[in-house]
Every structure is written in C-alpha cells, then in structure tokens.
Structure 1
C-alpha cells in the first residue's frame, strides 16, 4: 500500500493500454508515479485527507497522448498566423487576408498557413500576381498544408532578393516564369526561407529543419519573444491532452530554450528532439552534435537522442521520390536529397553510435532508399534493437512492405494527411501518384498486418494538432475507390499508436505509455466514452484534465 496518495481519478472508464490489465475504474497517483489502479472502492479507500479527487463522470481515461512527429517552434508561431484551412476561391482568400492584414498593421511579413494547392480552383495555379491583387504593397507569404511549397507576392520576393531567382540547391526551387522573374511559387526550405526570414522570428523557428543549424545572433528581446512563443505552444499541447511530443525541429537553440523553461517552472509536456543532419554536412557532425546532445539532454522531460534526415520532399510539388515515374509527369521520378550511398553512410554511422534515425520519406522511392540504408547499417554494425523510423510513408512499394518488420523499422504516419481526409482535396495528389499506387498509399493496415510497428501524429503545424481530431480522421477514413483496401486500424490500435507505441519508439515503454503502478503519471481524462461514441463524433470529445509527471497541466 502506498504511504500517501496525492490524487485519485475515479468513476472512469480507464483504458490502460496494458495488455495484462486493459481496463479499470479508478487509479491513484503519488508524486509523479501511478501507485495503484483497479476498482472504484479499492482505489477510493487509499485516499487520505489531502488527496485530490477527480471525478471522470464515466469518461475515458488514457495514458497522455504522445504526438510522435511535430514542430514545436513552428507550431507555436502558427498560433499567431492566419489559418487558410478550408478557404476556397479568390474572393474568400482576399477576404481572409484583408482582415488579417488590417488586424496586424505592424507585421513586416504577413503569413498564411494551410492554403490548399487548389485554393483558387482545381485548375488555376497560384502566382504572385494573384497575391499582388490582394496585397500589392505588403510582403505576404502563404504555405501549402505540407509546408514544402509556399507562394509569395511580388513585394515579398523583392524584399527577399529572389524576384530574379537564385541557386537554392538540389531538391529546392524558385519557380521561374517565361518573363525571367519568379512566379511566386517556392518549393522546399532553401527557396522559402529567404522570405520566411522576414517574419516575426526571422526564420529561427525553421532553422533546424532548413539548415540544420542555429541562429548566428539573437538579441535578448528576440530570445524572450521566442521563449514566450514556445511556452504558449507547450501550453496548447497540454490543453489537447498531450503529455509527450517528439519535436522534429532539431537545433540546439530550441533545446536550450526548452531547458530554460524546464529549470524555471517545469515543462508541461515531455519533449524529445533530434539533431538534424543535412546533406551538406560532414559525417563527423553526427558524433560531434548528435552524441554530444544525447549526453547533455538526458532527462525524462527533455531528451535529444536521435538523428533526423530528409530523403525527399512532397508529392504535390513533384519533389517526392518515386520508384516509377509520376503518373502525370513521364520521365520524372523526383530527385533524392541524399544519394543512396550517402544516406547509407549516415545510417551506418548513426547506428554505430547508438543513435536512432528518423527519416522523412514521402515517395516509395525514398522509402526504399531509407530501408536500404537501414539494411546497410545492420550489415555493417550487426542487428540491434535500433527502432529506426521512417516518417510519413505516403506511398510504399509492395516489395518493401515486409522489410519494415524484417529490419525493425517503425512506421511514423499521419492520419490527417490522406487526401479526402481532414478537409484535404483529392487533387492534385491522386493524379500525381496515379491509380496503380492508390492501394499502397497511406497503407496503415497493410503495414500493420505485415508486422510493422506504427505511431501516429499530425506533423503540426502541417495539420491541426488535436489528437482527438487526428483519431477521428483515422477512424473515418474511406477508400478512394470501392475495390481498394480499408487501411484503417481498429480504435484500440489507433489509441495505441498515440500512446503505448509512441513510448516504444522513444525507448521509454518501461516507464510511460501505459497506465500501471510504477509508471510515470501521464494521464488524460476525456469528456466522454471514446468507445461508445460514433467514430464521426470522436472529434467532439475534449480533454477535461491533462496530467504530466503527476502535475495537472490543464483542467477545463
């Protein structure tokens, strides 16, 4: 029996995610650990005069959600920017941008997010001239939902010095027009960053992803602003029932800000962040930075113990890498950001140093390149429990499906990303990959049945952050064609992909991700019974209480 109990949650439908005891009615917490879980009367009998009681009113109680792929700094900044989610047509776009510009007269760069590739129409592509007709005199930049493509007006292109183009490196493009000037379309980070750097963070929120580096100089005022933004983003995570995030930004600047928040008042959410390895970096950087950061950030609340890599871009812009040609663009398969040989060297070295690797791979060609690299690491270093990851996996070649289980590679996927889900249009995606690839796109069920471990996330701010909305999208997805397989997981498997499997991919399954005595007290209490509501109603549920490390971080 515990000496004391600080908190009990009762009158609950607890889904522990522990196969040994999958359900319970109540639980008890002392300090930052769960100390008991069981029946209502049994747990209430442990309470003392100072015990806090939380009545779940019959709602579901789960391990805190683990957002396995997101961008905490960029997501935090997005809370201040214009959402264009669901906006369609020039008139609606103009109305939204005009209102935002009027509300923010002092912003040097106005930024819009989640602008569909078909925001004007299914056939008309955005150019700087469209945006000039809305904002002729103030720099404006709007991002596609995937944030791998953006569009800028002439004022922004001029201010950034790229109206006449610039060499932005392999896999990146400032799209040029017949008049010798930029059209306004910018593909990938190197092309987007010159404009984005005029924003409120001067691009600091994107440095880890875009350059793998840190800001050269930051004033005290700028750092205080960044810290406040990140603190706001962390609080927003807690409001959504999230207790762990795996933030893919990957730079020391952010890690040090997070460490300062942890020292001053404690992080309300556990954060894990990688070192970001870019294709121009010498191989020795993996040891110089990746190993050094692992030794410095070792706690259960802030860790840096893996390496992030980009293998390709995204399908809509033609920068994802395919095994065969794009269906709508013969003789084009995309261009990988790493050659197979170069990526294999990175994988072998990181694996040799005991660092997990997580690789952005959208197209089936990029997925194959990454699996080949993981196989090379196994040959060079011997088989070990590496849990190397592949992020996104929008398309996978059938021949590569069994290799996930064979190599122990984790599939890190986003239920908010399939076209037709979460308000996303079907085009141009379906035409780009072509019907032959449709059955193997976003293939959660296929990969799971083949033995792959799967974690779910949103890639915030690419998609809205709410785990409950993401779970809703996962459970309500429909095939694009009647003869296609249903790729949904069961509700229990989907919840595991947001809780216990998230802990597994972090090598923390021995202390979080399930609700059992001795484990960290990371808990979310929902406003209803997630098993009883229709799948289409899951997004209407709300986190009533979030507890991280035994501390209530959100209470509705």
Structure 2
C-alpha cells in the first residue's frame, strides 16, 4: 500500500514539475523524505473517505432551515449527532452508504426541533398520573382516552383516576381494555367512588382472583373488570404510594409527550432542581428532550457550587435561576439584592412578571444590575412580559432584556405585545407555560400569527420557538436552525404551516421527531 502511495505521489511531483516548466531535479533520497512527510496527509484523506457516509439523511423534504426567511433546502445529512450537509437531494444522496438510515420526507415540511422556553416539566408528566373520564359517554371514547395515555406512560405505570358515570353501556369489556393496556395496570373509579374498573394486570398485582368476592361477572360468568368492596380495596392498596412522586416515571412521561409534539428542548421553570432525575433518565437512555433546568433565585449559591459540565452536546444543562414579581414595591429592594448577587456569580436570571407594575419593577431591577455589575452578555429574562406599559416596551430592545412569552397562554390578548417587541428588535422567545396549558408548540404558533395587531409572520413565530429560544438559553451556536455543525434536532410535520390557512396550523401533527441524531418519535406509518 505504501509503495503504491509513493508511486502516486512521485507521479504527482512529476506533473507539478511539468506545470512549472522544468524538470524535477530533487535527489531520490530527498524525494522519499518529502513523500514520507506527506503520508499522514494521504492517510487522513483515506480515513475521511472511509467515514464520509452519513448515519442519517433526510431527502425529498421542504427544509426550512430558519437561517433566513427564504432559506429552503431539499435534504440534509447527519453524522453522529450533528448536521454535516444541507442542500439538494443530489448532493445528499452521495452521502448515503450501506448503513445510512434514509428518511424520505415525501415533500413534507422539516423544521428545527421546537424549543419551549417556559415549561413546568414534571407537572406535564404528572398530568398523565390521573385520567379524567367524567364526561365520557361511550365505551369507544373511554378506550380512546386510555389508549392516548398508554402512548406516553412508561411500562408498568398505573393508569388511575376515572370518575366516570356508572353505566354498563359506556364501559368496554375487560378483554378490550387488556388489549390496549397490556403493559400498564388500570384502576379507574366510578363517579361515586363505590366501584372501580380494573384490567387484568391490576388484578394480578393485587393477587386478586377472578372469582374473588367483590368481582362482578357477566351472564357468561366472565369478570367484567368492575370491582367493589374488598376487591376494590385490595387493588387500591396495590397502587404505589409514591405514584405522583415517582420522578423517574413522571419525567419519562413528560419527555415521551414532548417528543410526540416535536419539542426537542425545554427550559424548565418549575425550580424544583430535577437535574439528577434528568441525568438518570439520560443514563438509562430514556431522555428524549434537552432540558435547561432552573433553580429558585434564593438557591443561587447552591447552583454556583453544583454546576453541571457545560458540554456542547449536553442533554441536561443548568445555570438559570427563576424568581417572581407581583408588582409590590416592597419586593423591589430584596429582588435587586438577590439578582445583583446571583448576576455577579455569572448566573442567568429570569423573573415572572404579569402586570404593568410587575414588569416595570423587573425592568428597573435588571437595568440597575447591569449598571452595578458592569457590561456582559447576561441575557436577563422577563417571563411572560404580559401587560407591559407602552412606554416600557422599548426598554427590552434598548437593554437587550429578553421577553419570554407564551402566545397560546394569553391567546389573542391585546396585552401580549410580542409583535411590537419583534418590530423593535427586542429578543423574544416563545414557550407554552405547560402544564398550565397544552405544550403543543403549534398552538402557540397559531396564536401568534392570528393575534390581530400583534400578529407576526409564520417565519417569525417559528423562529421564536427555535433559534429565539436557543438564544434565550445561550445555545444558539448549537441548535435552533438546520445548518452544518448544529445538533441534529428536527421535526417533520404533516402539513406546511407556511402555506396552509393560518387558522389550520393548530390541526397540524408531528410525523417524526429526531433528537441528537436519533428518531425519538414516529407516527405509525408516517414515513
């Protein structure tokens, strides 16, 4: 092999000599020394050729890169967890090798993964800890509701709640229930709590036999799934006492749900310090969402002393502190004191503010802190920034204070001024405030583009939900757009939200979600 390389390189020397219009007159020993010095370069070229195929490619797509409003590509390639090429189908097809996974988007819209800048992640997971069946009127509707929960719950997690009307006509039979809940125990109370509906797994975990006292049976002497009395209490006693505090299961539910909505990153404002939970989910291979986890402002010393490694590929990051202003002047001085101290520790601060007085106090505090601690890229954030005085709006752009806003939470409200703030070139990030409302980012985008005088373009709404939110957590160099070098976090949608009727955006669904170069959600038979 080496001799072949030397021959080729010597031929290259000779061709160079002809181009230079003189003979190559170097001594043979000098030529060999030069050739040996070039061998590592040639080896690098061979290695690059061996590893040039992509691990994943997306072709036949309408890729909105969100690097510019008119930036559209047909395809892109991923190697490892990074995007390595963006362009035409012809270009990207050259990167398909024997082991490359090919996603044919069939003309569908592809966007950077959505980044929800304001969530309460554990409450999102816990919203699936109990199912509300009070208004269910048919067996099919009950089955549909239960099946939806099964999609997101970890294997083995109980499905509880219910409170449905006790009418046999609206209950599925136990065999039908077992078919859709083969890996999750089900225990659902009637509206008066005197009976409950349970599947076979719940019976087994409670060591309850089909012929036990309190187990209802049909005319064919088969158990219906309805239990009462001793049988009901026996199953109830089998439900884990820590059901709503089993944070690994709750967190796994939340990340499963986020993946189904194309949310590839979240910024957790719940301030419960769940970093270890998220890291353990990552260790187990169950974390499908990048999480920027915030602590309470009062815990700034704890955060300073326990920062996570700031890796470029990190799934779990920290460095943010959350606080609250209700507009009470009595809170101004302690807020300034705490924010000044935390900011001096180079930590990022975000403060909840709804109302004219609350927003003014927070803006005053932030501008004072910048004067006290001196200039730096601090990206101070006002969470909600709702009902800001007209005369205070320009302060966001002037002081580069970030407005973290939730269009769907304040749907069509004239006091949600994201359109004005964008026109003033203020930094704006979008989120949901889930679990207060549904996490679905398409609901937020639909609200933002149908907000009357505050309406923004679809591009600007998507931008606020992607690169805008990445900027809000200091990660805009790593994610938020589809371009070479960025993390491979993206979503494929069922419809093109840039061309359909704006009011129909909320009905668009997610076909595929990719995080860190891996498919974490795919609608059945979608692609």
Deviation at 1:405, TM superposition (A): 1.2
TM-score by length of 2: 0.68
Pairing 1:32–2:81 present: yes
Deviation at 1:462, TM superposition (A): 0.6
Residues 38-85 of structure 1: CA distance to partner in whole angstroms, max 9, x if unpaired? 011111121111111111111111110001100110111112345699
Deviation at 1:266, TM superposition (A): 4.8
* Equivalent position SS for 1:272: strand
Pairing 1:442–2:419 present: no
Following the alignment from structure 1 to structure 2, what is the Cα–Cα distance between the partners of residues 475 and 64?
19
Deviation at 1:135, TM superposition (A): 7.7
**CA shift in 2, pair 1:245/1:227, >3 Å:** same
**CA shift in 2, pair 1:242/1:394, >3 Å:** same
Following the alignment from structure 2 to structure 1, what is the Cα–Cα distance between the partners of residues 129 and 487?
33
* Equivalent position SS for 2:246: helix
Would the aligned equivalents of 2:61 and 2:75 in 1 still touch at CA under 8 Å? Answer: yes
Would the aligned equivalents of 2:134 and 2:163 in 1 still touch at CA under 8 Å? Answer: no
Deviation at 1:103, TM superposition (A): 8.4
Corresponding position of 1:551: 518
* Equivalent position SS for 2:271: coil
Would the aligned equivalents of 1:385 and 1:408 in 2 still touch at CA under 8 Å? Answer: no
Following the alignment from structure 2 to structure 1, what is the Cα–Cα distance between the partners of residues 288 and 370?
37
Corresponding position of 2:433: 459
Q: How does 1:21-100 map to 2 (within 5 A)?
A: 22-81=71-130, 100=162
TM-score by length of 1: 0.64
**CA shift in 2, pair 1:235/1:350, >3 Å:** same
**CA shift in 2, pair 1:84/1:449, >3 Å:** farther
Q: How does 1:20-419 map to 2 (within 5 A)?
A: 22-81=71-130, 100-102=162-164, 225-252=246-273, 254-277=274-297, 281=298, 285-287=299-301, 289-295=302-308, 300-312=314-326, 321=327, 335=328, 339-418=331-410
* Equivalent position SS for 2:58: strand
Would the aligned equivalents of 1:5 and 1:48 in 2 still touch at CA under 8 Å? Answer: yes
Following the alignment from structure 2 to structure 1, what is the Cα–Cα distance between the partners of residues 104 and 506?
22
Would the aligned equivalents of 1:82 and 1:100 in 2 still touch at CA under 8 Å? Answer: yes
Moved more, 368-377 or 221-230: 221-230
Would the aligned equivalents of 2:325 and 2:352 in 1 still touch at CA under 8 Å? Answer: yes
Deviation at 1:18, TM superposition (A): 1.3
Q: Which has the larger radius of gyration?
A: 2
Moved more, 338-347 or 50-59: 338-347
Following the alignment from structure 1 to structure 2, what is the Cα–Cα distance between the partners of residues 406 and 294?
31
* Equivalent position SS for 1:294: coil
Corresponding position of 1:165: none
The partner residue of 1:538 within 481, 501, 505 is: 505
Question: Size of the alignment, in residue pairs?
Answer: 383
Would the aligned equivalents of 2:56 and 2:103 in 1 still touch at CA under 8 Å? Answer: yes
CA RMSD of aligned residues (A): 2.9
**CA shift in 2, pair 1:515/1:8, >3 Å:** same
Would the aligned equivalents of 2:55 and 2:80 in 1 still touch at CA under 8 Å? Answer: yes
Deviation at 1:303, TM superposition (A): 0.8
Deviating beyond 6 angstroms after TM superposition, the runs of 4 or more aligned structure 1 residues are 83-87, 134-137
**CA shift in 2, pair 1:135/1:294, >3 Å:** farther
Would the aligned equivalents of 1:13 and 1:59 in 2 still touch at CA under 8 Å? Answer: yes
Following the alignment from structure 2 to structure 1, what is the Cα–Cα distance between the partners of residues 135 and 378?
40
Following the alignment from structure 1 to structure 2, what is the Cα–Cα distance between the partners of residues 553 and 380?
45
Extract unaligned runs of 5+ from structure 2.
Answer: 1-47, 137-144, 146-160, 167-190, 195-235
Would the aligned equivalents of 1:293 and 1:305 in 2 still touch at CA under 8 Å? Answer: no
Following the alignment from structure 2 to structure 1, what is the Cα–Cα distance between the partners of residues 315 and 55?
21
* Equivalent position SS for 1:470: helix
Corresponding position of 2:469: 502
Deviation at 1:500, TM superposition (A): 0.7
Deviation at 1:406, TM superposition (A): 1.7
Following the alignment from structure 2 to structure 1, what is the Cα–Cα distance between the partners of residues 243 and 130?
18
